């Protein structure tokens, strides 16, 4: 919306009481807003709501915003180095009736003088009704990832110190901060439920957060310089409410503690964590115990050793699992070079979803899969060495498997005879398996199968005759299988009798310009 359009609205609708400028692309709020009699903006204090969320192109705030002392909703505030003309952070100080959410953008613009007295710059500390706060520095994608030599680290640390919110705050996001350490006021936010720190490439030290009594969600993302999360000592009430932990893209992170030689029998545990997500932390080898992990475990491009502890007794070394997995329902592993110990799957008695992607050393179904009696969905994708020639018995334990996806597995040649044990299987998807020559005749035992997809399997040359026995099969898709397509043509194809009774069939070659979308 242009400034002239804003002018027309403000001068025409002078009796407006609520103004919402959401997602209008406004860069400057024109001074004609003062003509709106009942909105009472400049020099008056009756405005309660100023909705400008989504106006990310704003370069500064209107002058006089500090006069809106009754303002309760201001979702967005744009910081600027032109304090006198545009209204800087200091004008936030008196807006103590703000509630709900506040996001402060472009904090990189603020140059903070160390000579300013701290008691005059408590911009946020008295806003007791504020529930969620986002502090955002913006330097572009490259500088967020790598940092910048032009950044004044001390200035950012001083500024963050003055941005202390009221202790009633429940959700805090800090994005793009480039100081080396976070302010200690974070551990005084006793009502904090969720904390996210991201895109802070210079941050090396975090304040102690394990005593925050209500913290349920902790996310740490793209912290290039972080080597450890906490000091060696652990409090008795160690993250007593934490339910979800996500750590991603922290390449130098080696251990949860500064000294990773913490005695194993004295290692603290997360008492109620249910979701653990670790991505792109290849050097992380030491973590607290997770005694109640029951919803989701995600390991992507990370070290399996962070999930194990090693006990040394004389000359004997034994590994035990840090994660009791008997309650776990979902697990995703991706780009894991080291195979997990077989003892992992022995505890997977409640697992319902298992996704394995880009695990180059996975050669077959793990032997412990016999105990996966609760598993309902299994996906194996881009595992170059995986094959099923010696996995006949491993299928027997998967009595409740409903969905099986095999995708981009170059060495997969057959599904073995034991495949017929999957009597609960409803959905079978095989995609981009160039060495797969055929499906086993035991597929006729899949009495629950409803959907079968075979795509981009260039060596598959026939369908099993026993397919005709699968009366439950209602959806069949065969695409880009050059040897199989001619055999599945109506009336003339050799395999047509096996599939003629299937209600919904798609048998064709996908146009090349569309195949990349699959």
How far, in Å, CA of 191 to CA of 172, rounded?
Answer: 11
Identify which of 377, 328, 376, 380 has the alpha carbon closest to the alpha carbon of residue 359: 380
270, 242 contact by CB (below 8 A): yes
442, 436 contact by CB (below 8 A): no
> Residue 298: in which H helix or E strand, if any?
strand 296-300
Contacting residues for 169 by C-beta, under 8 A, at least 6 apart: 130, 131, 132, 133, 189, 191, 192
Identify which of 366, 421, 426 has the alpha carbon closest to the alpha carbon of residue 398: 421
How far, in Å, CA of 87 to CA of 236, rounded?
Answer: 46
Residue 142 tokens read as 């490259």
329, 294 contact by CB (below 8 A): yes
User: Which pLDDT belongs to residue 472?
Assistant: 95
> Residue 354: in which H helix or E strand, if any?
strand 353-357
428 exposed, middle or buried (CB, 10 Å; 0-12, 13-18, 19+)? buried
Domain boundaries defined on the chain: 227-321
Helices (H) and strands (E) in the chain, counts: 7, 26
Positive or negative, the Cα torsion across 44, 45, 46, 49?
positive
For the whole model, what pTM was predicted?
A: 0.81
Provide the 3-class DSSP secondary structure of residue 79.
Answer: coil
User: Which pLDDT belongs to residue 252?
Assistant: 94
**DSSP letter for each residue of 321-353:** ESS--TT--EEEEES--SPPPTHHHHT-TT--E
Length reported for the chain: 518
**DSSP letter for each residue of 183-242:** -GGGGG-TT--EEEEES-TT--B----TT-TT--EEEEE--TT--EEE-S---SSTTTT-
pLDDT digit of tens for each residue in the chain (518 aa)? 676 777 777 777 767 766 666 566 655 556 566 555 555 443 344 567 776 777 777 777 877 787 778 888 888 898 886 654 445 888 888 889 898 999 999 998 888 665 555 445 578 999 999 999 999 998 765 444 444 446 788 889 989 999 999 999 999 999 999 999 999 999 899 999 999 999 999 999 898 888 899 999 999 999 999 999 987 766 667 899 999 999 999 999 998 888 765 555 567 788 899 999 999 998 988 888 887 889 999 999 887 666 654 333 333 333 444 456 788 899 999 988 766 555 566 677 889 999 999 988 888 776 656 678 899 999 999 998 888 766 666 777 888 999 999 999 999 988 876 788 899 999 999 999 999 999 989 899 999 999 999 999 999 999 999 999 999 999 999 999 999 999 999 989 999 999 999 999 999 876 555 445 44
Identify which of 349, 407, 415 has the alpha carbon closest to the alpha carbon of residue 382: 407
Give the distance from CA 87 to its chain's centroid: 36
User: Which pLDDT belongs to residue 44?
Assistant: 41
How far, in Å, CA of 16 to CA of 40, rounded?
Answer: 10
């Amino acid at each position: 919306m242009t400034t002239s359009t804003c002018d027309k609205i403000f001068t025409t609708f002078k009796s407006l009481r609520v103004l919402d400028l959401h997602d209008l692309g406004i860069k400057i709020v024109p001074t004609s807003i003062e003509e709106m009699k009942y909105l009472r903006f400049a020099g008056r204090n009756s405005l309660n709501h100023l909705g400008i969320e989504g106006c990310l192109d704003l370069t500064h705030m209107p002058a006089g915003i500090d006069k809106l002392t009754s303002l309760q909703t201001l979702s967005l505030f744009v910081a600027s180095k032109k304090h006198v003309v545009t209204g800087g952070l200091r004008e936030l100080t008196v807006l103590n009736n703000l509630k709900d959410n506040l996001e402060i953008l472009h904090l990189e613009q603020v140059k903070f003088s160390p000579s300013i007295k701290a008691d005059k710059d408590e911009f946020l500390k008295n806003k007791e009704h504020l529930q969620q706060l986002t502090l955002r520095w913006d330097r572009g994608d490259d500088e967020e990832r790598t940092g910048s030599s032009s950044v004044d680290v001390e200035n950012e640390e001083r500024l963050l110190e003055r941005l202390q919110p009221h202790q009633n705050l429940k959700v805090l996001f800090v994005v793009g901060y480039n100081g080396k350490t976070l302010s200690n006021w974070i551990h005084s936010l006793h009502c904090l439920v969720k904390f996210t720190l991201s895109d802070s490439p210079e941050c090396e030290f975090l304040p102690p957060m394990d005593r925050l009594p209500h913290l349920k969600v902790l996310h740490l993302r793209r912290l290039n310089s972080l080597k450890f999360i906490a000091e060696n000592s652990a409090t008795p009430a160690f993250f007593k409410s934490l339910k979800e932990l996500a750590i991603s893209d922290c390449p130098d992170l080696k251990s949860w503690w500064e000294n990773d030689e913490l005695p194993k029998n004295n290692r603290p545990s997360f008492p109620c964590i249910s979701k653990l997500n670790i991505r792109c932390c290849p050097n992380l080898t030491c973590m607290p115990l997770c005694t109640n992990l029951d919803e989701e475990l995600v390991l992507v491009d990370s070290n399996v050793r962070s999930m194990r502890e090693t006990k040394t007794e004389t000359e004997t070394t034994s590994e035990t699992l840090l994660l009791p997995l008997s309650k776990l329902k979902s697990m995703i592993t991706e780009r894991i070079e080291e195979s997990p110990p077989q003892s992992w799957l022995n505890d997977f008695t409640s697992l319902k979803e298992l996704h394995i992607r880009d695990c180059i050393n996975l050669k077959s179904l793990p032997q412990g899969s016999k105990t996966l009696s609760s598993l309902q969905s299994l996906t194996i994708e881009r595992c170059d060495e995986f094959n099923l020639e010696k996995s006949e018995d491993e299928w027997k334990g998967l009595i409740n498997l409903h969905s099986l996806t095999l995708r981009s597995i170059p060495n997969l040649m057959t599904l073995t005879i034991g495949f017929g044990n999957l009597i609960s299987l409803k959905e079978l998807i095989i995609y981009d398996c160039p060495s797969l020559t055929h499906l086993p005749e035991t597929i006729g035992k899949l009495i629950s199968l409803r959907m079968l997809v075979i795509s981009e399997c260039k060596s598959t040359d026939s369908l099993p005759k026993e397919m005709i026995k699968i009366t439950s099969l209602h959806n069949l898709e065969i695409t880009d299988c050059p040897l199989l397509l001619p055999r599945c043509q109506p009336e003339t194809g050799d395999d047509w009798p096996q599939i003629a009774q299937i209600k919904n069939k798609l048998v064709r070659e996908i146009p090349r310009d569309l195949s990349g979308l699959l």
